Amino acid sequence: MPKGLGKGLGALIPGSNTISTASENMAEKGFGIDIVISKIKPNKYQPRKEFDPVELSNLMASIQEKGIIQPVSVRKIGPEQYELISGERRLRACRELKKETIPAIIRDVKDEDMLELALIENIQRDNLNPIDEATAYKRLLDEFSLTQDEVAKKVGKERSTVANMLRLLNLPFKIQEYVSRGTISAGHARVLLMVDEFDLQEKLCASIIRNGMSVRQIEKIVSDRNKGEIINIKKAQNKDVHIADAEKQMQYTLGSKVRIVGKKKGKIIIEFYSMEDLNRIFELIQGVGKTQ
Protein backbone atom coordinates (compact mmCIF):
# COMPACT_ATOMS: atom_id res chain seq x y z
CA MET A 1 0.00 0.00 0.00
CA PRO A 2 1.44 3.44 -0.92
CA LYS A 3 2.59 5.45 2.06
CA GLY A 4 -0.03 7.95 3.27
CA LEU A 5 -3.18 6.18 2.07
CA GLY A 6 -5.89 5.98 4.71
CA LYS A 7 -4.44 8.90 6.68
CA GLY A 8 -6.69 11.59 5.27
CA LEU A 9 -6.21 14.54 2.95
CA GLY A 10 -3.65 16.23 5.21
CA ALA A 11 -1.26 13.29 4.76
CA LEU A 12 -1.58 13.38 0.96
CA ILE A 13 -1.02 17.15 0.70
CA PRO A 14 1.68 18.06 3.26
CA GLY A 15 1.48 21.61 4.58
CA SER A 16 -2.07 22.15 3.36
CA ASN A 17 -4.27 23.81 6.00
CA THR A 18 -7.30 24.31 3.76
CA ILE A 19 -10.01 22.06 2.42
CA SER A 20 -10.64 22.26 -1.31
CA THR A 21 -14.06 22.54 -2.90
CA ALA A 22 -13.54 19.08 -4.40
CA SER A 23 -12.81 17.68 -0.95
CA GLU A 24 -15.91 19.32 0.51
CA ASN A 25 -17.94 17.80 -2.30
CA MET A 26 -16.57 14.40 -1.30
CA ALA A 27 -17.51 15.06 2.31
CA GLU A 28 -21.02 16.07 1.30
CA LYS A 29 -21.39 12.74 -0.55
CA GLY A 30 -20.61 10.74 2.58
CA PHE A 31 -16.83 10.40 2.31
CA GLY A 32 -15.11 11.43 5.52
CA ILE A 33 -12.33 13.99 5.17
CA ASP A 34 -10.00 15.46 7.78
CA ILE A 35 -11.12 18.83 9.16
CA VAL A 36 -9.03 20.98 11.50
CA ILE A 37 -10.59 20.60 14.96
CA SER A 38 -10.13 24.29 15.83
CA LYS A 39 -12.41 25.14 12.88
CA ILE A 40 -15.35 23.21 14.40
CA LYS A 41 -17.75 24.99 16.74
CA PRO A 42 -19.87 22.98 19.21
CA ASN A 43 -23.48 22.13 18.41
CA LYS A 44 -25.62 24.77 20.14
CA TYR A 45 -28.47 22.26 20.11
CA GLN A 46 -26.46 19.49 21.86
CA PRO A 47 -28.98 17.79 24.18
CA ARG A 48 -26.38 16.08 26.39
CA LYS A 49 -25.27 18.10 29.43
CA GLU A 50 -23.43 15.36 31.32
CA PHE A 51 -20.42 13.53 29.84
CA ASP A 52 -19.23 10.51 31.82
CA PRO A 53 -15.47 10.98 32.43
CA VAL A 54 -14.85 7.22 32.54
CA GLU A 55 -16.64 6.65 29.21
CA LEU A 56 -14.69 9.55 27.69
CA SER A 57 -11.43 8.05 28.97
CA ASN A 58 -12.34 4.68 27.45
CA LEU A 59 -13.14 6.35 24.13
CA MET A 60 -9.78 8.14 24.16
CA ALA A 61 -8.01 4.83 24.69
CA SER A 62 -9.96 3.29 21.79
CA ILE A 63 -9.11 6.22 19.50
CA GLN A 64 -5.44 5.94 20.45
CA GLU A 65 -5.45 2.26 19.49
CA LYS A 66 -7.80 2.12 16.50
CA GLY A 67 -8.38 5.71 15.41
CA ILE A 68 -11.79 7.26 14.62
CA ILE A 69 -13.97 4.52 13.14
CA GLN A 70 -17.07 6.67 12.56
CA PRO A 71 -16.56 10.26 11.24
CA VAL A 72 -18.33 13.11 13.03
CA SER A 73 -20.85 15.11 11.00
CA VAL A 74 -20.72 18.90 10.60
CA ARG A 75 -22.36 21.69 8.63
CA LYS A 76 -20.55 24.57 6.95
CA ILE A 77 -21.23 28.01 8.49
CA GLY A 78 -18.53 30.05 6.73
CA PRO A 79 -15.21 29.83 4.91
CA GLU A 80 -13.36 26.96 6.61
CA GLN A 81 -15.77 27.25 9.55
CA TYR A 82 -18.03 24.40 10.64
CA GLU A 83 -20.59 23.57 13.33
CA LEU A 84 -20.80 20.11 14.81
CA ILE A 85 -23.99 18.16 14.13
CA SER A 86 -23.20 14.88 15.89
CA GLY A 87 -20.20 13.19 17.45
CA GLU A 88 -19.38 15.49 20.39
CA ARG A 89 -17.84 12.70 22.49
CA ARG A 90 -15.48 11.84 19.62
CA LEU A 91 -14.62 15.52 19.14
CA ARG A 92 -13.97 16.01 22.88
CA ALA A 93 -11.81 12.90 23.00
CA CYS A 94 -9.71 14.10 20.04
CA ARG A 95 -9.28 17.52 21.66
CA GLU A 96 -8.11 15.87 24.89
CA LEU A 97 -5.64 13.80 22.84
CA LYS A 98 -4.32 17.04 21.26
CA LYS A 99 -5.19 15.85 17.75
CA GLU A 100 -5.21 18.57 15.09
CA THR A 101 -7.81 17.07 12.74
CA ILE A 102 -10.79 14.72 12.85
CA PRO A 103 -12.57 12.78 10.06
CA ALA A 104 -15.87 14.47 9.24
CA ILE A 105 -18.80 14.38 6.85
CA ILE A 106 -20.29 17.74 5.78
CA ARG A 107 -24.08 17.85 5.72
CA ASP A 108 -26.51 20.57 4.67
CA VAL A 109 -29.08 20.75 7.49
CA LYS A 110 -31.41 23.31 9.04
CA ASP A 111 -31.50 24.31 12.72
CA GLU A 112 -34.45 22.01 13.38
CA ASP A 113 -32.55 19.07 11.92
CA MET A 114 -29.50 19.90 14.06
CA LEU A 115 -31.38 19.27 17.30
CA GLU A 116 -33.22 16.28 15.87
CA LEU A 117 -30.04 14.59 14.63
CA ALA A 118 -28.13 15.29 17.85
CA LEU A 119 -31.04 13.98 19.92
CA ILE A 120 -31.45 10.80 17.88
CA GLU A 121 -27.72 10.07 17.89
CA ASN A 122 -27.48 10.47 21.66
CA ILE A 123 -30.54 8.32 22.32
CA GLN A 124 -29.38 5.54 20.01
CA ARG A 125 -25.64 5.68 20.65
CA ASP A 126 -24.95 7.17 24.08
CA ASN A 127 -27.92 6.37 26.36
CA LEU A 128 -28.96 9.97 26.98
CA ASN A 129 -30.06 10.44 30.59
CA PRO A 130 -33.83 10.97 31.14
CA ILE A 131 -33.63 14.68 32.04
CA ASP A 132 -31.43 15.61 29.07
CA GLU A 133 -33.75 13.60 26.82
CA ALA A 134 -36.83 15.35 28.23
CA THR A 135 -35.14 18.76 27.85
CA ALA A 136 -34.37 18.02 24.20
CA TYR A 137 -38.01 17.06 23.59
CA LYS A 138 -39.11 20.35 25.21
CA ARG A 139 -36.75 22.32 22.94
CA LEU A 140 -38.26 20.64 19.90
CA LEU A 141 -41.71 21.64 21.18
CA ASP A 142 -40.84 25.22 22.17
CA GLU A 143 -38.24 26.30 19.60
CA PHE A 144 -39.75 24.63 16.54
CA SER A 145 -43.46 24.67 17.48
CA LEU A 146 -43.83 20.91 17.09
CA THR A 147 -46.58 18.87 18.71
CA GLN A 148 -45.87 15.88 20.95
CA ASP A 149 -47.10 13.63 18.13
CA GLU A 150 -44.61 15.21 15.71
CA VAL A 151 -41.75 14.89 18.20
CA ALA A 152 -42.62 11.23 18.80
CA LYS A 153 -42.57 10.47 15.06
CA LYS A 154 -39.23 12.23 14.57
CA VAL A 155 -37.47 10.23 17.29
CA GLY A 156 -39.29 6.93 16.70
CA LYS A 157 -41.05 6.83 20.10
CA GLU A 158 -44.64 6.45 21.26
CA ARG A 159 -46.37 9.74 22.07
CA SER A 160 -47.03 8.45 25.62
CA THR A 161 -43.28 7.88 26.09
CA VAL A 162 -42.49 11.47 25.08
CA ALA A 163 -45.28 12.80 27.32
CA ASN A 164 -44.02 10.80 30.33
CA MET A 165 -40.45 12.00 29.77
CA LEU A 166 -41.62 15.63 29.60
CA ARG A 167 -43.42 15.23 32.95
CA LEU A 168 -40.04 14.70 34.64
CA LEU A 169 -39.33 18.40 34.05
CA ASN A 170 -42.13 19.21 36.52
CA LEU A 171 -40.01 17.87 39.38
CA PRO A 172 -37.92 20.24 41.56
CA PHE A 173 -34.56 21.03 40.00
CA LYS A 174 -32.70 19.23 42.80
CA ILE A 175 -34.53 15.97 42.04
CA GLN A 176 -33.96 16.42 38.31
CA GLU A 177 -30.21 16.57 39.04
CA TYR A 178 -30.40 13.27 40.94
CA VAL A 179 -32.15 11.67 37.95
CA SER A 180 -29.52 13.10 35.56
CA ARG A 181 -26.70 11.58 37.61
CA GLY A 182 -28.45 8.24 38.00
CA THR A 183 -28.66 8.67 41.78
CA ILE A 184 -32.35 7.80 41.51
CA SER A 185 -34.03 6.15 38.53
CA ALA A 186 -36.64 7.57 36.17
CA GLY A 187 -38.99 5.00 37.75
CA HIS A 188 -38.47 6.58 41.17
CA ALA A 189 -39.00 10.03 39.65
CA ARG A 190 -42.29 9.04 38.02
CA VAL A 191 -43.60 7.85 41.38
CA LEU A 192 -42.58 11.15 43.01
CA LEU A 193 -44.68 12.95 40.38
CA MET A 194 -47.73 11.35 42.02
CA VAL A 195 -47.07 13.60 45.06
CA ASP A 196 -48.35 17.18 44.88
CA GLU A 197 -46.09 18.97 47.37
CA PHE A 198 -42.48 19.79 46.38
CA ASP A 199 -41.35 19.51 50.03
CA LEU A 200 -42.69 15.98 50.33
CA GLN A 201 -41.21 15.01 46.97
CA GLU A 202 -37.77 16.12 48.19
CA LYS A 203 -38.23 14.36 51.54
CA LEU A 204 -39.15 11.09 49.81
CA CYS A 205 -36.27 11.53 47.34
CA ALA A 206 -33.81 11.96 50.22
CA SER A 207 -35.14 8.75 51.78
CA ILE A 208 -34.72 6.85 48.48
CA ILE A 209 -31.08 7.94 48.29
CA ARG A 210 -30.26 7.47 51.96
CA ASN A 211 -31.87 4.07 52.35
CA GLY A 212 -31.65 2.58 48.85
CA MET A 213 -35.42 2.21 48.58
CA SER A 214 -36.82 0.40 45.55
CA VAL A 215 -39.46 1.80 43.20
CA ARG A 216 -41.96 -0.68 44.64
CA GLN A 217 -41.28 0.51 48.20
CA ILE A 218 -41.77 4.17 47.31
CA GLU A 219 -44.90 3.28 45.29
CA LYS A 220 -46.39 1.70 48.42
CA ILE A 221 -45.67 4.80 50.50
CA VAL A 222 -47.15 7.19 47.92
CA SER A 223 -50.17 4.92 47.33
CA ASP A 224 -50.90 4.79 51.06
CA ARG A 225 -50.51 8.55 51.32
CA ASN A 226 -52.91 9.17 48.41
CA LYS A 227 -55.45 6.96 50.14
CA GLY A 228 -55.28 9.25 53.17
CA GLU A 229 -53.07 6.98 55.25
CA ILE A 230 -50.13 8.30 57.29
CA ILE A 231 -46.78 7.95 55.51
CA ASN A 232 -44.39 5.62 57.31
CA ILE A 233 -41.05 5.81 55.54
CA LYS A 234 -39.10 3.86 58.17
CA LYS A 235 -41.49 0.93 57.94
CA ALA A 236 -41.08 0.72 54.16
CA GLN A 237 -37.32 0.99 53.89
CA ASN A 238 -36.01 -2.05 55.89
CA LYS A 239 -32.71 -2.53 54.04
CA ASP A 240 -31.50 -6.14 53.91
CA VAL A 241 -28.84 -6.74 56.59
CA HIS A 242 -26.54 -8.51 54.10
CA ILE A 243 -26.73 -5.58 51.66
CA ALA A 244 -26.00 -3.11 54.47
CA ASP A 245 -22.97 -5.22 55.49
CA ALA A 246 -21.72 -5.34 51.87
CA GLU A 247 -22.01 -1.55 51.65
CA LYS A 248 -19.89 -1.12 54.80
CA GLN A 249 -17.20 -3.50 53.52
CA MET A 250 -17.01 -1.76 50.13
CA GLN A 251 -16.88 1.68 51.77
CA TYR A 252 -13.99 0.49 53.94
CA THR A 253 -12.11 -0.93 50.93
CA LEU A 254 -12.68 2.03 48.60
CA GLY A 255 -12.59 4.84 51.16
CA SER A 256 -15.72 6.41 49.69
CA LYS A 257 -19.48 6.31 50.20
CA VAL A 258 -21.12 3.27 48.56
CA ARG A 259 -24.81 2.51 48.11
CA ILE A 260 -26.32 -0.74 46.83
CA VAL A 261 -29.78 -0.23 45.33
CA GLY A 262 -32.05 -3.24 44.79
CA LYS A 263 -31.84 -6.88 45.85
CA LYS A 264 -32.17 -9.51 43.12
CA LYS A 265 -31.34 -6.86 40.52
CA GLY A 266 -29.95 -3.40 41.08
CA LYS A 267 -26.84 -1.24 40.92
CA ILE A 268 -23.85 -0.19 43.01
CA ILE A 269 -23.34 3.57 43.35
CA ILE A 270 -19.84 4.73 44.33
CA GLU A 271 -19.44 8.43 45.05
CA PHE A 272 -16.31 10.39 44.11
CA TYR A 273 -15.46 14.03 44.75
CA SER A 274 -12.86 14.91 42.11
CA MET A 275 -11.14 13.42 39.05
CA GLU A 276 -8.21 12.46 41.30
CA ASP A 277 -10.60 10.66 43.64
CA LEU A 278 -12.19 8.85 40.67
CA ASN A 279 -8.77 7.72 39.44
CA ARG A 280 -7.89 6.51 42.95
CA ILE A 281 -11.09 4.44 43.18
CA PHE A 282 -10.61 3.09 39.64
CA GLU A 283 -7.06 1.95 40.48
CA LEU A 284 -8.29 0.27 43.68
CA ILE A 285 -10.99 -1.63 41.77
CA GLN A 286 -8.47 -2.67 39.13
CA GLY A 287 -6.11 -3.85 41.85
CA VAL A 288 -8.82 -5.92 43.51
CA GLY A 289 -9.72 -7.49 40.16
CA LYS A 290 -6.12 -8.47 39.43
CA THR A 291 -5.78 -10.25 42.78
CA GLN A 292 -8.80 -12.48 42.14
d(CA 201, CA 215): 14
Contacts of 135 (CB under 8 A, 6+ apart): 47, 49, 169
Q: Is 100 a catalytic residue?
A: no
Kindly give the interhelix angle for 275-291 and 241-254, rounded to the nearest 10 degrees.
110
* Catalytic, out of 88, 116, 121, 247: 88
Burial class (CB in 10 A: 0-12, 13-18, 19+), 261: buried
Burial 186-225 (b: 16+ CB within 10 A, else e): bebbbbbeebeeeeebbebbebbbebbbbbebbbbbbeeb
Catalytic residues: 88
